[in-house]
Chain A
């Protein structure tokens, strides 16, 4: 069974204070690892897909990296508008209909 564990559960940063969120996973054959951002009361917003160890993707202040066991979402010089819950999900050949298995998320708060 696929498993995804995100840490920390919550993170409070001062504006400009860089940090990283962790996503550890156990899957039988990774097809893709996905990062989403979710604002309160809204659906998840797609950020990145990573397919293989060593891959990196960047978007503005966010950078996602992937190893064989975990992924990191690095946030450089965050701003208050980066406050949200960040979700990690994996897709593997197991399970029905190529479903995504989600972690429980990291709630990020960036203080001005």
Chain B
């Protein structure tokens, strides 16, 4: 299994600003993912963070709004840009290692946009 940490754990931001969320894994992993969980809802995949190349975004999510970096095998960042109240959500980082299908999740970042 992998132990994942995220920073910040929560934040309150003003409309129009941007927030960068960091995700750190305690071991090298093959794949890292970013999810959004809106209040009372299940998880929706935003994108797959690819090491050394552009992230792969799911339908409905674009790079200009959610730029992602993954400079190495243990670290990734997600930026929520030009925020609006609709971006208020929990953002979760997950990772998987080679040879297994299960993903392990970080504790999440609770974002509130006012």
Contacts and interface: CB of A to CB of B under 8 A. Distances in A.
A42 B107 CA distance: 5
Contact of B58 (A46, A89, A96): A96
B101 A87 contact: no
A97 B108 contact: no
A72 interface: no
A87 B56 contact: no
Contacts, number: 57
B102 A96 contact: no
Given A32-B101, A104-B41, A104-B42, A96 B110 contact: no
Given A96-B58, A102-B42, A102-B43, A34 B102 contact: yes
B48 A96 contact: yes
A100 B106 contact: no
Contacts of A42: 107-108
Contacts of B29: none
A97 B45 CA distance: 10
Interface in A9-51: 31-32, 34, 36, 41-46, 49
B18 interface: no
Consensus secondary structure, chain B interface: strand
B5 to A, nearest CB: 10
B42 A97 contact: no
B33 A44 contact: no
A91 B45 CA distance: 13
B113 interface: no
B83 interface: no
Nearest to A97: B48
B46 to A, nearest CB: 10
Contacts of B41: 104
A98 B33 CA distance: 11
Nearest to B31: A97
